[in-house]
Amino acid sequence: MDTKEQQLFMVLKNIFKKQQVYNEGATMKKLIALVAALAFAPAAFAADSEVSHNAEYRMRYNNDANAKFAQGSSGAYYNHRFKLGLTYRSGEKFSAHASLIHNNMWGISAPASHPATFSTPNAQTLMLVNQAYASWMVSDDFMIKSGRMPVEFGDGTIFAENDYESTPYAFDGLNFAYDTEFAHIDFFMLRTGETAVGTSPDNEEDWYVFSFDIKSLPEFLKMANIHLIQYAKEDDPTEANKKASMNFGLTLGGDAGGLDYRLTYASQSGKTGPSASEVSTSGTMMDLEVGYAVPTFMNSRFALGYHNQTGDKGDDATKSTAYQAGYYDIHANAGLMDVVSWNGTTFGSTSTKSVTDGTNSVNLGLTDMWFVWTMMPMEGYNTAIQYHMFSAAEKGALSSGDLGSELDLEATKKYEGGLEMTARIGMLTPGELLKSGSFGTLSETYQKLYLQAKFNF
């Protein structure tokens, strides 16, 4: 019993004494009243505290055929994820949040000595603390967060949580958020590397992220975000992996009538490597999608998109013009199969970040043009068709820049009670560049069947 409960008990005890209740039946009633009062006392004293929770469970089945664009490279596997979210609030000023995740690919975590049991601790039999941060509402418009937290702004093409992946992105650091009538401002101080604690030099990898969301916008403009990112990685004494860059970008999005659009442009510049052989880096990225909604035709939406990120010819050892993608939303971009990546894709045994064109090692970059058709043929059903055409943004002396095309067909059904079922078929056909040259002979179409059941609680 805490101090407040003891005080309440003594007050009720004194009342009993003063009334000098001798009747046994009356005494029993008083005792019942006392027990009830004590039972509700903790809730009364903790009225300013609140605990809430949520959970998600999902199971996935994947069946890959010709996974390496060659016959015979096929396989099927299952995995599941359980995610538990816990939020604690103390009044209106303080709160803490934790997100715990259990990931498992079926069978991979079973010990060799007892394949039917899971008694051996490893990365897939334990709970991962994915998020753990505290929030302090300093005032009505200013908040501070500290701990391991998600970072997302704009349309997810620069920083995103990536909840579709087995383990969403989370970053250690501080977040200062300021909210006004005309804008929402976020400043993040993040540390993604700490390799030499307590020694000199102190090697670190830090991000300083500034995000500015404008609120006072015209009717046709629903989103206007400006971001500024400073990245620095120390690597003393060799400096072989030393990096520094400045990133700037703008995201716009909105709609007018049945037309909707979004656009992100990002530019980066910096330096990498030791001072004696320093390389100047620069790169740009543009991501654009324009859609048109036709509610009268099965709630359809048709969209065309274009993505381009610069590559590098590799003919100047002191310069690099390849855009380095950050922690963007992987599944929402470059096809639903999640094979082609903005951070470079390995086809066969060769990465698009380093392709020999006969003279140089070329970073191809990426150009992606796509068509999307989504519709809701009936209540609770959603379907989508996506078609992507991938090519090299920089091909050097290569005869072709055609990387291939991807077709995705997806259907989702939502049920009452929080159940959601998804089925998808994806086909990635290699282009001319993958059928010869540095990539070897990759001629078979990569096919993926995907099934998912997800419960939200």
Phi-psi sector, 440: left (phi>0), alpha (psi -120 to 50), beta: left
- Give the DSSP letter string of 78-135: EEEEEEEEEEEEETTTEEEEEEEEEEEETTTTS-SSSTT---S--TTTS-EEEEEEEE
pLDDT value of position 354: 87
Whether the CB-CB separation of 329 and 388 falls below 8 Å is answered with no
Domain final position from 28, 47, 66: 47
Domain-located, residue 133: no
Enumerate residue ranges in the chain where pLDDT < 50: 12, 15-16, 18-24, 34, 38, 43-45
Owner of token pair 């949580």: 161
Based on DSSP, count helices (H) and strands (E) in the chain, helices before strands: 2, 23
Domain-located, residue 94: no
pLDDT value of position 32: 57
Domain-located, residue 18: yes
Dihedral over Cα of 433, 437, 439, 441: its sign: positive
Whether the CB-CB separation of 337 and 448 falls below 8 Å is answered with yes
Query: What is the number of domains present in the chain?
Result: 2
Domain-located, residue 424: yes
Domain-located, residue 417: yes
Domain-located, residue 306: yes
Domain residue limits at 20: 1-47
SS3 5: helix
Domain-located, residue 29: yes
Domain-located, residue 90: no
**CB within 8 Å of 24: residues ≥ 6 apart:** none
- The helix-helix angle for 3-19 and 24-45 (nearest 10°) equals 160
